[in-house]
Amino acid sequence: MTTDWNPLLRTEFDKPYWAELQRFVADERASRTVYPPHEEVFAALHLTSYADTRVMILGQDPYHGPGQAHGLCFSVRHGVRTPPSLANIHKELHTDVGVAIPDHGNLEAWATQGVLLLNATLTVRAGQAGSHQKHGWETFTDEVIRTVSDKPDHVVFVLWGGYARRKKSLIDESRHTIIESPHPSPLSAHNGFFGSRPFSRTNEALVAHGQTPIDWGL
């Protein structure tokens, strides 16, 4: 990673789990289709620098359909049909802050403003959700979460769903804001995600700490 994350995370690359993880992913790519493409695995860290990170939205797993995953949680490439969870995010975005529901699902506009869109697992086998979990990615991304929590500047952590909410123990709640709710999945969105106002609440927390709010427009 040729970004300011590199010196902060470099020690992870020397740990035994990292070599094992990279062997696992390389073996998977040699015999199966794996998403996202190799060059986009760390897209979240390339698009959002450590210095610029003001908000962190945590996902669980990359999308496992053709052409969907491109290294940012919940986001898909332009021209790819919007997945159901992202469609619900769009609905809440419109209700919360009045952003028109876009005709695409690409969230890079958020990433370039300091919204770190990180999945806990950074690769997945095509068509098999969760297939690369518990092979080491979580160890790495937990360290990313700790590193963001150690920032001297205030950060808003947005945790959607039970998996993301279990990461609260990695975050210093005395210095940062945590906004949590059920997941935007169609299975749970009506149980508290809709109406949770994560976007306006994030901006309120940023402004309260003297930080620039996010332009959530897509």
Q: d(Cα 148, Cα 169) in Å, to the nearest integer?
A: 13
Amino acid at 105: G
Asked if 27 is an active-site residue, the reply is: no
Phi/psi at 130 (nearest 5 deg)? Answer: 75, 5
CA nearest neighbour of 153 among 206, 98, 88, 100: 206
Catalytic residue among 27, 61, 96, 153: 61
Amino acid at 12: E
Q: d(Cα 134, Cα 130) in Å, to the nearest integer?
A: 9
Task: Determine contact, residues 82/105, Cβ cutoff 8 Å.
Answer: yes
Task: Look up residue 116 and give its DSSP letter.
Answer: E
Active-site annotation, residues: 61
